[in-house]
A and B are shown apart, each in its own frame.
Chain A
Amino acid sequence: MNSPKLNPAQATILPSQVVKDDESALVGAAKSGDIQAFETLVSRYERKIFRLTQNITQNREDAEDAMQEAFLKAYEHLGDFQGNSRFYTWLVRIAVNQALMKLRRRRNNMVSLDQEVDTGEDTMPREVEDWGPSPEERYQQSELGGILSKVIGDLDPPFRIVFQLRDIEQLSTEETAEALGLSVPAVKSRLLRARLKLRQSLNHYFRRGVTT
């Protein structure tokens, strides 16, 4: 397996070695029964895990339940965590499983991630326009967050979940494939389509000439 590879755009926000070491120390303490250490890990990651479960389920109640179950499962199975990956990556995989169960239940098991999907790979994107000033400068943070959340929520689950894991949670292509039971080529083709669909949707908000 190739080593995890992040895209260059992600490199600037990689957690520092200090955070990793701190995370390892907290996990070690939690494994030894230090509840406070585990609660510190929960407080550190609860926002990201809730965004993850919210983006997958698109339902607040399911997202809350999936997040809660993910943290409880993580605590119960802490002894199984071998430290071969970051704790956060391990936690993400648990949360994804919980969120997918909720999504499938609500959609009467109609969501199958390993089904063939048309990724339309040879299609040249429409609406090719310059975005002008950076979206972060044009919108307030909460407004921008609302736009990003709405646009990703409009993606079909097979695309939305791959993008969430690969580009937001920064799992490698191989880790994403393993977490979702997909092949690496399937992850790559879905990721491409997800990125292009999001780009097209964001174009309506960010293209030059659009005023806020």
Chain B
Amino acid sequence: MKCKDIVRELADYLDEDLDPDLRVSIEQHLAKCKDCRLVVDTTKQTIQIYCNSEPAPLPPETRSKLHDALTKRLHHRT
């Protein structure tokens, strides 16, 4: 297995969506290739940072606009 093969399989590897033999081959390559290991680790961190990030609170005027529109439409229907 070469470095470019790791890149090709990276998404499925991170999503644990690979057959076991291929997974073992990748892990053998990662054990001896520091560059690939860093790419895998930092890509994993990239996903985690975005996945764990909390959305910012709505700006007050945006929230008012949304809830005014909803109130108008929702209560109009009743």
* Partner-B contacts on A (CB < 8 A): 5, 7-10, 12-13, 33, 35, 38-39, 42, 46-48, 50-51, 60, 64, 67-68, 71-72, 75, 121-125, 128-131, 134-136, 141-142, 144-145, 148, 152, 163, 167-168, 170, 173, 188, 191-192, 195-196, 198-199, 202-203, 206
Q: Which of these, B12, B69, B74, contacts A68 with CB under 8 Å?
A: B69
Q: How far is the CA of A67 from the CA of B63 in the complex (A)?
A: 10
Q: How far is the CA of A145 from the CA of B51 in the complex (A)?
A: 12
Question: Do A47 and B58 have beta carbons less than 8 Å apart?
Answer: yes
What total of chain B residues lie within 8 Å of the partner, measured CB to CB?
43
Minimum CB–CB distance from B22 to chain A (whole Å) comes to 15
Question: Do A141 and B54 have beta carbons less than 8 Å apart?
Answer: yes
Q: How far is the CA of A208 from the CA of B68 in the complex (A)?
A: 47
Quick one: given A72-B69, A199-B39, are A145 and B53 in contact (CB under 8 Å)?
yes
Q: How far is the CA of A198 from the CA of B44 in the complex (A)?
A: 11
A-B contact pairs, 10 of them (CB 8 A): A7-B16, A46-B66, A136-B49, A136-B52, A148-B53, A167-B50, A188-B11, A188-B12, A199-B42, A199-B46
Minimum CB–CB distance from A110 to chain B (whole Å) comes to 26
Quick one: given A47-B58, A72-B69, are A131 and B74 in contact (CB under 8 Å)?
no
Q: Which of these, A13, A46, A135, A170, contacts B49 with CB under 8 Å?
A: A135
Minimum CB–CB distance from B73 to chain A (whole Å) comes to 6
B32: Cβ under 8 A from any A Cβ: no
Question: Do B65 and A130 have beta carbons less than 8 Å apart?
Answer: no
Query: B27-65 toward A: CB 8 Å interface, digit per residue (1/0)?
Result: 000000001001101111111111111111110001101
Quick one: given A68-B65, A199-B43, are A168 and B51 in contact (CB under 8 Å)?
yes
- How many cross-chain pairs have Cβ atoms below 8 Å apart between A and B? 138
By secondary structure, the A interface counts as: helix
Q: How far is the CA of A186 from the CA of B46 in the complex (A)?
A: 21
Question: Do B38 and A195 have beta carbons less than 8 Å apart?
Answer: no
For residue A145, which residue of chain B has the nearest CB?
B56
CB contacts (< 8 Å) of B69 on chain A: these are 68, 72
Question: Do B11 and A48 have beta carbons less than 8 Å apart?
Answer: no
Shortest 6 CB-CB contacts between residues of A and residues of B: A47-B55, A51-B55, A192-B11, A7-B15, A9-B48, A199-B46
| Other contacts beyond A46-B63, A75-B70, A192-B10: 15, CB < 8 A | A9-B44, A10-B47, A39-B70, A42-B66, A60-B62, A121-B7, A129-B38, A134-B45, A142-B56, A145-B53, A148-B50, A148-B53, A188-B11, A191-B11, A203-B42
Minimum CB–CB distance from B58 to chain A (whole Å) comes to 6
Q: How far is the CA of A42 from the CA of B68 in the complex (A)?
A: 12
